[in-house]
Amino acid sequence: MNRIKALGLAATFGVGLLLAIHPAHAQNPAAWPDKPVRLVLPYPPGGNVDGAARIISDQLQAMFKQPFLVDNKPGAGGLIAGEFVAKAAPDGYTFFMGANGPILFSPTIFKRDVYDWRRDFVPVSSVSFTPLVLQVNPSTPYKTIGELIEAGKKPGSKLTMASPGAGTQNHLVSEYLQRESGARWTTVHYKGNAPATTDLLGGQVDFNLDQISVAQPFIQQGRTRALAVTSPQRLPQLPDVPTLQESGFKDFSTETFTGILAPKGTPDAIVQKLAQALQKILADKSVQERFNVLGSQARAMTPTQFTQFLDKEDKRWIPIIKQANITAQ
């Protein structure tokens, strides 16, 4: 073999080796997606995040002519799903779709540094924003949040609250209410909204804080009773239910967001392509109506806007978590 041929074979082998070691760089962003894409969720089917994911997955599939698969990986406050995506190849075929808790708070609350949203992910876009409702099982005697709080202040309070998981926004609002009011109750953590709601409906727990997108049908059927909402103003779906601000928690409001993140290192062209697709999808009136029916507002952000939003929420809640020593351990 002459020297020129040997060098050529060596160069070819070297390029092949690099592609094998760094498959993400072999991906042509312009051709993305050319195979199924996974949206990994930290909750089981039936909750707020799952509902939002299934709306957009259908739309993304229609737009890109490739399957967008909803992959539910519940457990550990979202850490299982988050760590899975953080360690996934950054090739544009695995994304993390979560909410406040799994994206921002769970590593702190569980004291497990398995991922950090700044270090391990690239924010793509927000998807939806949903107020929470404090609702009780109708067999309980509580007609107002004031009555519930007073019951929680009594010595030996046996109140129980169903949480969809430690570190979720539902859980943090519950902790906030206890800290601000002096009431106490036992928080029972579940693996998602669906099992928490099941036990609320069955009377195994007294109340929960749930997204209106999940709670509204049960409230309308009389299977739960709404006492307060976390939005800044009363909701058109529940005009007779006061806000937490009206109920004595001054200047407090919060919503559960859903959003999508990519593993760090995902080509920016793919991140931008997905973000732009979501902006188009979530601006569509028919899609917005599907979210409105669930009690959510469809709202996309650019990657830069979503990063700034996450940073603001992180700085708002992480100090509260640490000051209140909120932990799952």
**Phi and psi dihedrals of 4, rounded to 5?**
-65, -45
CA distance readout (Å), 219 to 1, 17, 165, 226, 237: 80, 59, 22, 7, 10
pLDDT band at 301 (very low <50, low <70, confident <90, very high): very high
Residue-level pLDDT at 206: 98
Residue with more model confidence, 171 or 82: 82
Query: Is 30-129+256-323's fold the same as 131-229's?
Result: yes
Residue with more model confidence, 39 or 11: 39
Residue-level pLDDT at 329: 63
- pLDDT of residue 18 exceeding 60, the answer is no
What average pLDDT score do residues 123-127 get? Answer: 98
Q: For 131-229, give the CATH class.
A: alpha beta
- pLDDT of residue 20 exceeding 70, the answer is no
- pLDDT of residue 8 exceeding 90, the answer is no
- pLDDT of residue 294 exceeding 80, the answer is no
What span, in angstroms and rounded, lies between the C-alpha atoms of 237 and 286? 19
Residue with more model confidence, 305 or 48: 305
**Are 104 and 313 a contacting pair, CB within 8 Å?**
yes
- pLDDT of residue 159 exceeding 50, the answer is yes
What percent of the chain stands above pLDDT 70?
Answer: 91
Q: Long-range contacts: 82-87, Cβ < 8 Å, 24+?
A: 82/42, 82/106, 82/107, 82/114, 82/115, 83/114, 83/115, 84/40, 85/40, 85/121, 85/261, 85/263, 86/114, 86/115, 86/120, 86/121, 86/263, 86/264, 87/263
For the chain, the structural domain boundaries read 30-129+256-323, 131-229
Nearest to 241 by CA among 145, 174, 177, 159: 145
pLDDT band at 211 (very low <50, low <70, confident <90, very high): confident
- pLDDT of residue 162 exceeding 90, the answer is yes
Which CATH number, 3.40.50.720, 3.20.20.80, 3.40.190.150, 3.10.20.30, labels domain 30-129+256-323? 3.40.190.150
- pLDDT of residue 256 exceeding 80, the answer is yes
Residue-level pLDDT at 191: 82
**Phi and psi dihedrals of 179, rounded to 5?**
-65, -40
**Are 110 and 166 a contacting pair, CB within 8 Å?**
yes
Rounded to two decimals, the pTM is 0.76
Q: Position 131: which residue type?
A: P
Residue-level pLDDT at 21: 43
What average pLDDT score do residues 121-146 get? Answer: 96
pLDDT band at 33 (very low <50, low <70, confident <90, very high): very high
Residue-level pLDDT at 242: 97
**Are 206 and 136 a contacting pair, CB within 8 Å?**
yes
Residue with more model confidence, 267 or 168: 267
pLDDT band at 213 (very low <50, low <70, confident <90, very high): confident
pLDDT tens by residue, 189-199:
888 888 999 99
Q: Position 205: which residue type?
A: V
**Are 106 and 167 a contacting pair, CB within 8 Å?**
yes
pLDDT tens by residue, 108-117:
999 999 999 9
Which range of 83-92, 186-195, 284-293 scores highest in mean pLDDT? It is 83-92
Summary mean pLDDT of the chain: 90
